[in-house]
Amino acid sequence: QVQLVESGGGLAQAGGSLRLSCAASGRTFSNYGMGSMGWFRQPPGKEREFVAAITWSGGSTDVADSVKGRFTISRDVATKTLYLQMNSLEPEDTAVYYCAARLSQLLLRSPLNWTSWGQGTHVTVSS
């Protein structure tokens, strides 16, 4: 019932910036209004890993150490859109980035705790 669609990925140079968006639709508002949304990424040949998460109602955040100070997660409640502003990009940030949601305000980092997923958007960072 919940649809999550990522966009904004692409190619960037090291040190550059990209802004990812995740548009939520369907029953997202009713099912996840009191829950959380987040971003995960999967580098080529590696497992999916946590990037950042935010509680939908209160806006509390959790950010992985690998991107802390460079990436900012935010959401627009009115438009039901999740964002990931990525600055100071590094080649190590190259991955498929996924938007996710869960019915809890507890910001757990394991992908196993997240129930709804987008299709992913590619981010490639070159030097």
Q: Which residues of 78-115 are buried (b: 16+ CB within 10 A; e: fewer)?
A: eebbbbbebeebeeebbbbbbbbbbeeeebebebeebe
* 6 three-state secondary structure: strand
Task: Count CB neighbours of 50 within 10 A.
Answer: 22
Answer whether 51's CB lies under 8 Å from 107's CB.
no
If you ran DSSP here, which 8-state letter would residue 35 be given? S
Tens place of pLDDT for every residue, the chain, 127 residues? 689 999 999 999 999 999 999 999 877 656 556 789 999 999 999 999 999 999 998 999 999 999 999 999 999 988 999 999 999 999 999 999 999 999 888 999 999 999 999 999 999 999 9
